[in-house]
Amino acid sequence: MAMLQVTDLKVNYGVIQAIKGVSFEVNEGEVIALIGANGAGKTTILHTVTGLIAPKSGKIEFEGKDITKMPAHKIVTLGMAHVPEGRRVFADLSVYENLLMGAFTRKDKDEIAKTLEMVYKRFPRLRERKNQVSGTLSGGEQQMLAMGRALMSHPKILLMDEPSMGLSPLFVNEIFDIIKEVSASGTTVLLVEQNAKKALSIADRAYVLETGKIVLDAAADVLMNDPSIKKAYLGE
């Protein structure tokens, strides 16, 4: 059984149909990429899966449980964490306070302390800057903070929206190395990414989205070598 199963998902913004009957699945332990041009509906899918947008119709199941109409804060407690586009850190709070916000659904103080230590180990820069106000961090550091904050909820699946957006190439490589590490440590990843080449380089499988519809899905290495994909998304 797939960890995350999305079936015939339709989402409207007013009269505009943003998502037109999308179905896909994410199995435990996979890194799955959703790629496509700007405005294809990638972010809308993530927002709908995590309960931030209500779908018009369709079904979303997480570990066999129907979460289609479940509120976002309840979905987090099931083990799903969302790293939003644009990072959305709490700019006026310190790095440490931001990280604790990520653990708001957890009650186990000792375990939270262990998770915090794990996050600091993975992101040494966050430890160095733990008392710094988050709004003063660089873009790359804020992205690390957003990822660290999501990991504080100890998720089974991490949904990431455009983690490379606005970052220098050096930071992009670093962020993608960390995504690989997170995956290797047992967290399933669903990745929405404008940088298709980078996304396909770490994904197991990928779905290609065009104007609200999935037009292609295959193993990431197959898509990497597909001439039409190279031309449309990989800039080759």
**CA 178 from centre of chain:** 13
pTM of the model: 0.90
Rounded Cα distance between 30 and 33, Å, is 10
Per-residue pLDDT of the chain (236 residues; tens, 9 = 90+): 899 999 999 999 888 888 999 999 999 999 999 998 888 889 999 999 999 999 999 999 999 999 999 999 899 899 999 888 876 888 889 999 999 998 888 888 888 899 999 999 989 999 999 999 998 988 888 988 999 999 998 899 999 999 888 888 888 888 899 899 889 989 999 999 988 999 999 999 999 999 899 999 999 999 998 888 888 887 66
Is CATH 3.40.50.300 the right assignment for the domain spanning 4-233?
Answer: yes
- pLDDT for 84 equals 85
Rounded Cα distance between 115 and 60, Å, is 28
Residue 70: partners with Cβ closer than 8 Å, 6 or more residues away:
51
- pLDDT for 107 equals 84
- pLDDT for 98 equals 94
Q: Which of 219, 105, 84 is nearest to 163 (CA)?
A: 84
- pLDDT for 32 equals 97
Amino acid code (one letter) for 146: A
Are the C-beta atoms of 185 and 119 separated by less than 8 Å?
no
Assigned token pair, 8: 């015939």
- pLDDT for 236 equals 61
